[in-house]
Structure 1
C-alpha cells in the first residue's frame, strides 16, 4: 500500500442540500472513527464465552477536523448548521480518490486562540444516517 499525503484528506459539506460540496476552510487535521455497538447474546449455554449476534449492532461514525479559523462562507455554514441543529451530507475525500459520505449533525464546534498566535477551531460530526464508501 502506498503512502498518501495528509493534505489531500479533506472534510467537505453539502452547504445547501443540493449535492454541491465545499471544503471546510483552514483545516490542519481531519479524521474518521468507525464504531459498532454489538448485540450480546451470551447465555448459560455459551460455555463461558461471550457470543455476539452476527449482522447486528449499531454502526456509528465520528468525523473530526481542526485548523485555523477562517471567516469564509464554509466556516459560516458549519456554525449555522451547529446552531440550527441541521443535518447535512458531509464527505471525507481521501488522497487516493476514495470518499466517505454521510448525513451528519455538528455535535461540537470549538474555538481557541493564544495571545500571540492564530485563532483555531475544531469541529466534530456524528453520523445521522447511512454512511457510503466510494
Structure 2
C-alpha cells in the first residue's frame, strides 16, 4: 500500500437502518484500531513451556477516533442525535486505497471545539458493537 492522502478518509452513517450511507464527515486526524484478545491455553505439557493460544477464540473489536469538520449542519445533528440516544447504528469508514470497514458502532465520545476566529471542529470516538466487515479497495 503506497502513500495516501489522509483527508480522503470518510465517515458515513446509516441513519435509518435502510443500508443507505450518507457521508457525515471528513476526518482531519484519525485513528482506526483493530484489536483481538487471545485465549491462553498453555499447560505444563506445552512444548518448551512456550505460551499456546486457542485459535479463533478471542474477542475482536474495532474503534475509530478522529477530529474534523462535519459535512453540514444536518450531519452534525444526525451524529449528535445518535450520541444522545445512545444508539448503535451502522457506520462505514472509507479508507482510500485500502478498503471499507462497515458495521454497528456506538458513539462513545463527542466533543466540540472552536476558536473565536475559526470554524467549529469536533472530536469523535466510535466503538464496535457487533461484527465488522472489511471490503478491500
Per the shorter chain, which TM-score range? 0.7 to 0.9
8 Å contact kept, 1:33–1:62: yes
| Aligned 1:29-108 pairs, distance under 5 A | 29-46=29-46, 47-68=48-69, 72-96=73-97, 98-108=99-109
In the alignment, the residues of structure 2 paired with residue 69 and residue 7 of structure 1 have an alpha-carbon distance, to the nearest angstrom, of: 13
Aligned length: 134
- For structure 1, the residue ranges without an aligned partner over 5 or more in a row are none
- For structure 2, the residue ranges without an aligned partner over 5 or more in a row are none
Instruction: Rate the CA distance shift 1:25–1:118 in 2: closer, same or farther, 3 A.
Output: same
Shift of 1:116: 4.2
4+ long deviations beyond 6 Å? none
Give the TM-score normalised by the residue count of structure 1.
Answer: 0.87
In the alignment, the residues of structure 1 paired with residue 51 and residue 44 of structure 2 have an alpha-carbon distance, to the nearest angstrom, of: 10
Q: What corresponds to 2:23 in structure 1?
A: 23
In the alignment, the residues of structure 1 paired with residue 13 and residue 108 of structure 2 have an alpha-carbon distance, to the nearest angstrom, of: 15
